[in-house]
Structure 1
Amino acid sequence: MDPAAARIKHIEERDSHYRRSEASPPSRFDPSTMSASASRTELPPPRVLVIGDVMTDVIVQPEGPIVPGSDRRARIGLYPGGSACNQAAWLAHLGIPVALAGKVGRRDAEEQARALAEAGVTPRLGIDETRGTGMLIALISEGGQRSFLTDRGANDTLSNDDLPVSLLSGLELVHVSGYALFTPGPRAAVMSLMAVARARGITVTVDPASVGFLDEVGRDNFLGWTRDASILFPNEDEAAFLAGSDDPAAQIRFLTNRYGLVAVKRGAAGAEVATAQIRLKAQPPTVAAVDTTGAGDAFLAGFLAARLAGAGLEQCLAEGVRNGAEATTVIGGRPPARAG
């Protein structure tokens, strides 16, 4: 039996065991248990499943350069975050029924689920009884550029038990945040579900997420782990690392030999999308940027929402850059709350 078939057989047998067993599978958050104040109208069955990180973001905006060993006034805020959650929230903002699979700590499980539900995302959260929800500190420079400090927390304990095959029911697309692939336990679980999804004809897409973590795990490893993906969404640094070249044309040639479709996010220069036969570029609209956190996530959501609506590549790219630009006009990585 080949490795992919073995992974599929294992995960399906595991889920069948839980259905037969009187014992419950490991702890997961049930949205139906949310308090009345946390609930909202029932969300539609998801067309998309996003798998990845759930974080609390601490956004720090210093009034000027940080003074080593001394003080600097700053605006500091707490926001629900995580690249995968941001991507799911933007998809929901654009009208795509979507669920988020990830893992959180017990203490704020309901709070995290509430934030997702209020953004229009169906929460499918495993619960870690000992580790807290992941946390990220984002330092925002005067021009809106950000630097991160990350504590992965419960994200690093995501397991097969948190990703049952039943999550794939009715889906058209599974999107994986690369952060879920950088730790062995979560990686094995995510790759198993990716293999099942691909075998069932469900489109699989991946965002590499972090050039720093890509460097830690190695280019060839990441390319192998994402072999079940048909679309890759790197930023320009990730594309350069994976292709081993700073030349955009060389990056496109390398990546389109491995993925059917590649959409490269190039920051203020916009983005480009390519197959082995086509290469398209788009510039973003001019906006008053205040925070670039989540711009790439919003681009991805805009692109995928248009693709799910049947748009061509040029329109998908245009919607991606428009949505990414919109994201830079608000603080935090998620779309602005709707009125009412």
Structure 2
Amino acid sequence: MAQQENDPSDHDVLVVGGSGVDTVVRVDSLPVPLADSVGVAPILESPGHTGGNVALGLTALGLSVKFLDFIGDDWTGEQVRDRLTEGGVDFETLISPAGTRRAVNLVDRTGRRMSFHDARDPEGLRMPREFYLPHLRRTRHVHLSITDFARFLYDDIAELGVPVSTDLHDWDGLTDHHREFALRSDLVFLSASGASGRIASVMREILREGRAEAVIATAGAGGSYLMEREGSRTPRPIQATVPPGPVVDSNGAGDAYLCGFLYGRLAGRDLEECARLGALAGAYACTGEGSAAQIGLDGLLAHTV
């Protein structure tokens, strides 16, 4: 089911998978105390999820984006469609019998979050080749969310020679689900929180065992770390950017970082400069609710030299 007529022109980025709706619950602190009932601020619904946030963020930066995914024929799916249409994203969908993905995010006063996401996609779900292949042939870059069906695009991506990125989120370096994404992508993003003190060895393993040009680990207010195939196997620290306003919500900050980085890469910037652009976009995202605080191209470039 297409959301709008297909534009025959090429796209800068094809995003596959990862749409859904976040339910955001604000709490005083994390972890929350054990209690039968807790009063909280108004609970908010925020369409986006990782794939949606990336598609919206890249579009806000002036890139041409095509977004493919399964969503449900349900009211949450309508929320996703409306938000992406509002953000100018070229979104084309297939109907999932399991419905639209959901997540519940607890967010404390500092903007730190804890996310509970459902894994509702049915086992064996596949995106038909005739649905995605024409778009693979017309894009400069592919970004795969770590939804299980997305892994089955890798063979076609490799055959066509299209650069591909992925975000492993809080991968600990051990869980099998993430490994193929880690080893078959050209740019690999992940949160340093998953592997904690082992993050450097996980980054080295991805470069040693896989095809990545670079691995980028984000660490929130601690900045980020960059490790390149052609360079030192010691993570290069990238200083965090101070948010331009009060921190409201860290949901989507990692997705925004990825958008700033990919914008830089597609513009021909070097990897360290891409990481600094990512840090700017990630900091900006912390100043608004959900996917609402996407930095535009003028804002991104205004802080670079």
Give the secondary-structure state (helix, strand or coil) at the position aligned to 1:54: coil
AA partner of residue 89 (structure 2): V
Q: Which residue of 1 aligns with 2:201?
A: 250
AA partner of residue 63 (structure 2): I
Matched, 1:32 2:4: yes
Q: Which residue of 1 aligns with 2:299?
A: none
Q: Following the alignment from structure 1 to structure 2, what is the Cα–Cα distance between the partners of residues 247 and 30?
A: 43
Q: Which residue of 2 aligns with 1:146?
A: 113
Q: Following the alignment from structure 2 to structure 1, what is the Cα–Cα distance between the partners of residues 227 and 49?
A: 27
**For residues 157 and 247 of structure 1, do their structure 2 counterparts lie closer, same or farther at Cα, with a shift above 3 Å needed?**
closer
Q: Following the alignment from structure 2 to structure 1, what is the Cα–Cα distance between the partners of residues 295 and 163?
A: 29
Give the secondary-structure state (helix, strand or coil) at the position aligned to 1:233: strand
Q: Which residue of 1 aligns with 2:83?
A: 115
Matched, 1:207 2:179: no
Q: Following the alignment from structure 2 to structure 1, what is the Cα–Cα distance between the partners of residues 184 and 59?
A: 25
Matched, 1:266 2:219: yes
Shift of 1:169: 2.7
- State the identity as a percent: 25
Q: Which residue of 1 aligns with 2:268?
A: 310
Q: Which residue of 1 aligns with 2:303?
A: none
Equivalent of 1:164 in 101, 126, 132:
132
Give the secondary-structure state (helix, strand or coil) at the position aligned to 2:43: strand
Shift of 1:202: 0.2
Give the secondary-structure state (helix, strand or coil) at the position aligned to 2:183: coil
Q: Following the alignment from structure 1 to structure 2, what is the Cα–Cα distance between the partners of residues 103 and 119?
A: 19
Q: Which residue of 2 aligns with 1:18?
A: none
Q: Which residue of 1 aligns with 2:300?
A: none
* Larger fraction in helix: 1
Retained in 2: the 8 A contact 1:291–1:330?
Answer: yes
Shift of 1:223: 2.5
Q: Following the alignment from structure 1 to structure 2, what is the Cα–Cα distance between the partners of residues 156 and 309?
A: 38
Shift of 1:161: 2.1
Give the secondary-structure state (helix, strand or coil) at the position aligned to 2:4: helix
Q: Which digits, 9 at most, give the CA deviation of each residue in 1:54-87, with x for residues without a partner?
A: 1111111135765611231322111102111111
Q: Which digits, 9 at most, give the CA deviation of each residue in 1:307-328, with x for residues without a partner?
A: 0000111210110001011111
Retained in 2: the 8 A contact 1:90–1:334?
Answer: no
Give the secondary-structure state (helix, strand or coil) at the position aligned to 1:47: strand
Shift of 1:151: 2.5
Instruction: Map 1:77-88 to 2 at 5 A.
Output: 77-88=44-55
Q: Which residue of 1 aligns with 2:186?
A: 230
Structure with larger Rg: 1
**For residues 47 and 247 of structure 1, do their structure 2 counterparts lie closer, same or farther at Cα, with a shift above 3 Å needed?**
same
Equivalent of 1:60 in 3, 20, 25:
25
| Structure 1 residue runs without a partner (length 5+) | 1-28, 34-41
Q: Which digits, 9 at most, give the CA deviation of each residue in 1:23-60, with x for residues without a partner?
A: xxxxxx21238xxxxxxxx7964221111221111111
Shift of 1:115: 1.6
Q: Following the alignment from structure 1 to structure 2, what is the Cα–Cα distance between the partners of residues 150 and 61?
A: 16
Q: Which residue of 1 aligns with 2:92?
A: 124
Q: Following the alignment from structure 2 to structure 1, what is the Cα–Cα distance between the partners of residues 204 and 293?
A: 33
Q: Following the alignment from structure 1 to structure 2, what is the Cα–Cα distance between the partners of residues 235 and 59?
A: 20
| Structure 2 residue runs without a partner (length 5+) | 297-305
Matched, 1:295 2:253: yes
Shift of 1:226: 4.2
AA partner of residue 192 (structure 1): F
Give the secondary-structure state (helix, strand or coil) at the position aligned to 1:120: coil
Q: Which residue of 1 aligns with 2:238?
A: 282
Instruction: Map 1:8-27 to 2 at 5 A.
Output: none
AA partner of residue 166 (structure 1): P
AA partner of residue 255 (structure 1): I
Retained in 1: the 8 A contact 2:22–2:104?
Answer: yes
Give the secondary-structure state (helix, strand or coil) at the position aligned to 2:54: helix
Shift of 1:334: 4.6
Shift of 1:206: 1.4
Q: Following the alignment from structure 1 to structure 2, what is the Cα–Cα distance between the partners of residues 261 and 139?
A: 31
**For residues 46 and 155 of structure 1, do their structure 2 counterparts lie closer, same or farther at Cα, with a shift above 3 Å needed?**
farther
Retained in 2: the 8 A contact 1:99–1:121?
Answer: yes
AA partner of residue 209 (structure 1): H
Give the secondary-structure state (helix, strand or coil) at the position aligned to 1:137: strand
- Name the count of aligned residue pairs: 285
Matched, 1:50 2:15: yes
How high is the TM-score relative to the length of structure 2? 0.83
Q: Which digits, 9 at most, give the CA deviation of each residue in 1:169-227, with x for residues without a partner?
A: 3211111122x13xxxx2xxx23322111211100111113438x76xx34x6334543
Retained in 2: the 8 A contact 1:63–1:74?
Answer: no
Give the secondary-structure state (helix, strand or coil) at the position aligned to 2:116: strand
Q: Which residue of 2 aligns with 1:105?
A: 72
AA partner of residue 32 (structure 1): Q
Retained in 2: the 8 A contact 1:119–1:337?
Answer: no
